[in-house]
Amino acid sequence: MKAFGPVPSRRLGRSLGINSIPPKACTYSCVYCQVGRTSHLQVDRRLFYRPEEIVEEVAAKVEQTREAGDVIDYLSFVPDGEPTLDINLGRTIELLRPLGIRIAVITNGSLLWREDVREELGSADLVSIKLDAVSESIWRGIDRPHGSLSLETVMDGILGFARSFRGELMTETMLVQGCNDRDRDMEQVADFVALLAPKTAYLAIPIRPPAESGVRPPDEETVNRAFQIFSHRISHVEYLIGYEGDSFSGSGNPEQDLLGITAVHPMRAEAVEKFLGERGQDRTLLQRLLAEGILVETEYRGMRFFLRRLGAHQVRPEQEAAP
Ligand code: SF4
């Protein structure tokens, strides 16, 4: 199956997924990969499926979806591996254009030092680049790249692409306990992400069974610190912690709305008070959510924040594949 969905995604709206790489060919073998360990660790681009074959399947899905009265916001390359390994990625994007739907590619960015990859990704409407580490030892530990890749070259490629890309750029950083969650590490990643000037920088945690069983998400306090560190440098930061919150469309139900907002970012205590006050609520709702363990309170630089307890009451995980 090369086309699936559409599935709801906070980043991409109603997204029709395109799986253009068979499991599991990738330039990385991330410890947290939800597809499992990489069986074909490679950096050479090659043919996987014929572009016409992919496009035919996508077009059929699009027609089926339209007939059902459903909408598609993005055709998204979210394969079981690294999409830029496909030597025909650019050609496939070109052939999909007549369908008149915006095209997104979720990539680990490791081949962006190649001019052909920069050019092909440049023809997409939205590109999301994964960036977990900017220090060689952490990068090798968490992303386990192909031996021929150099972090400096990869970062130069990503930066070069970000500076020339005219579409919507996003980044995604996966936080793994004990791997890349020290303040210093997060600050360095945030400094580099800031140079890329993404529309949104996402912070993710492993929420599905990872390739390596010892992989754990950081605790709430660390996730909050990461959010503050990134927000200090980047204008729009959100986290992807496994809840499909929607902070932009109020349901009119204070509990649902509060959970929706805290699914996307931590809330300052003052903001929560104001939010409740404006809806005619006292602290009872907040106290109940804390007592039930749905929200947790944490502190950063003397300020109090509320955020969702990680792993509690998982509602609807993002149904996108990694990177
Ligand atoms: S998470 Fe993405 S980049 Fe990492 S191994 Fe899996 S498919 Fe490759």
Residues 103-156 have pLDDT tens digits of 999 999 999 999 999 999 999 999 999 999 999 999 999 999 999 999 999 999
123: CB partners within 8 A, 6+ apart: 90, 93, 94, 103
pLDDT (tens digit per residue) in 243-259: 654 444 456 788 988 88
Query: Count of H helices and E strands in the chain?
Result: 10, 13
pLDDT (tens digit per residue) in 171-229: 999 999 999 999 999 999 999 999 999 999 999 998 778 889 889 999 999 999 999 99
Bridge partners of 128, per DSSP, are 106, 170
CB 295 within 8 A of CB 286: yes
CB 207 within 8 A of CB 33: no
Handedness of CA 125, 318, 131, 223 (dihedral sign): positive
Q: At residue 261, does pLDDT exceed 90?
A: no
Residue among 74, 131, 120, 82 nearest 100 (CA): 74
CB 15 within 8 A of CB 61: no
Share of the chain above pLDDT 90, in %: 70
CB 196 within 8 A of CB 225: no
Q: Ligand 1 pocket: which of 34, 38, 144 to mutate (most atoms <8 Å of CB)?
A: 38
Residue among 55, 50, 1 nearest 23 (CA): 1
Distance 97 CA to ligand 1 centre (A): 26
Atom number in ligand 1 closest to CA 323: 2
From CA 155, how far away is CA 110, in angstroms rounded? 8
CB 260 within 8 A of CB 296: no
From CA 126, how far away is CA 227, in angstroms rounded? 23
Share of the chain above pLDDT 70, in %: 93
Q: Ligand 1 pocket: which of 28, 42, 129, 320 to mutate (most atoms <8 Å of CB)?
A: 28
pLDDT of residue 207: 79
pLDDT (tens digit per residue) in 152-171: 999 999 999 999 999 999 99
pLDDT of residue 313: 39
pLDDT of residue 47: 96
Distance 203 CA to ligand 1 centre (A): 16
Mean pLDDT value of segment 12-16 = 91
Enumerate domains of the chain plus CATH numbers: 3-240 (3.20.20.70), 254-308 (1.10.10)
Q: What is the mean pLDDT of the chain?
A: 90
CB 267 within 8 A of CB 305: yes
Q: Ligand 1 pocket: which of 24, 27, 35, 107 to mutate (most atoms <8 Å of CB)?
A: 35
pLDDT of residue 1: 59
169: CB partners within 8 A, 6+ apart: 126, 127, 128, 129, 162, 196, 197, 198, 199
User: DSSP characters for 206-241?
Assistant: --S--SSTT--PPPHHHHHHHHHHHHHH-S-EEEES
Tell me if residue 120 falls in helix, strand or coil. helix
Q: What's the length of the chain?
A: 323
pLDDT of residue 316: 37
Would you say the CB of residue 242 lies under 6 angstroms from ligand 1?
no
* Cis-peptide, bond into residue 6, ω within 30° of zero: yes
At residue 295 the predicted structure's pLDDT band, cuts being 50, 70 and 90, is very high
For atom 4 of ligand 1, the residue with the nearest CA is 30
Q: At residue 278, does pLDDT exceed 50?
A: yes
Mean pLDDT value of segment 9-20 = 90
pLDDT of residue 315: 38
Higher pLDDT, 178 or 303: 178
pLDDT (tens digit per residue) in 63-74: 999 999 999 999
For atom 2 of ligand 1, the residue with the nearest CA is 323
For atom 5 of ligand 1, the residue with the nearest CA is 29
Secondary structure element (H or E) that encloses residue 103, with its range: strand 102-107
pLDDT of residue 221: 93
